[in-house]
Amino acid sequence: MLTPLARYGLIIAAAIVVADLTTKAAATAMLDYGEANVVLPFFNLTLLHNTGAAFSFLSEGSGWQRWLFITLAVVISGVLVVWLTRLKQHETWLGVALAFVLGGAVGNLYDRVVHGYVVDFFHFHWAGYHFPAFNVADSFITVGALMLLLDVFMSGEHRDSDTLDKGNKQ
């Protein structure tokens, strides 16, 4: 039986997958591949296909990387689902973080399985420097990962203060 936190986490992850796949379908339908569509002086919508991982890591591979990234995404998604189902009810922040990473991972996993690449279209640039294009799934993975890091630091501070409190009481 799923806890309410796990149920909400899975709903959040599913909503992220729907938002991600919907925006990727819209980008694919409305944008020409590789053509920059200027939105702001520092932001374009540019349809790109990424066969690699973050920042196009291993995108020059001969195709084996697709299966590596699919395997990693399946394993990581499974671990995230199990972790989410084992959270205590008060671990809401951690649950949301896991849901964000899970939703993003599944959105990009779908692309890799169906297309063999991930659809990217958000393209930021400034003064001749270009940040690698990304998508909604990547955004949620990044925010979720940052939340996980904050959780580690916040829970570490909490444990440290508990240890200090216990030491002062003795």
Q: What percent of the chain has pLDDT over 70?
A: 82
Q: Is residue 94 part of a domain?
A: yes
Q: Is residue 169 part of a domain?
A: no
Q: Is the pLDDT of residue 162 over 80?
A: no
For the residues 30-38, what does the mean pLDDT come to? 97
Q: Of 20, 32, 111, 138, which one is the catalytic site residue?
A: 138
Q: Is residue 129 part of a domain?
A: yes
Confidence at 167, pLDDT banded by 50, 70, 90: low
Q: Of 20, 32, 111, 120, which one is the catalytic site residue?
A: 120
Q: Is the pLDDT of residue 159 over 60?
A: no
Q: Is residue 164 part of a domain?
A: no
**Residue 154, pLDDT score:** 85
The CB density around residue 3, as the number of other CB atoms within 10 Å, is 16
Based on the residue annotation, tell me whether 120 is a catalytic residue of this protein.
Answer: yes
Q: Is residue 167 part of a domain?
A: no
Q: Is residue 24 part of a domain?
A: yes
Q: Is the pLDDT of residue 97 over 90?
A: yes
* Least confident span in 28-32, 78-82, 142-146, 166-170: 166-170
What 8-state DSSP symbol labels residue 132? P
Q: How far apart are the first and last CA of the chain?
A: 42
Domain count, the chain: 1
Confidence at 155, pLDDT banded by 50, 70, 90: confident
Q: Is the pLDDT of residue 56 over 70?
A: no
Q: Is the pLDDT of residue 165 over 80?
A: no
Burial of 59 (0-12, 13-18, 19+ CB in 10 A): middle
Could you report the per-residue pLDDT of 98-141, keeping only the tens digit for each? 999 999 999 999 999 999 999 999 999 999 999 999 999 999 99
Q: Is residue 37 part of a domain?
A: yes
Question: Sign of the CA dihedral 43, 48, 120, 45?
Answer: positive
Q: Is residue 170 part of a domain?
A: no
Burial of 13 (0-12, 13-18, 19+ CB in 10 A): buried
| Full residue range of the structural domain in which residue 130 is found | 4-157
Based on the residue annotation, tell me whether 32 is a catalytic residue of this protein.
Answer: no
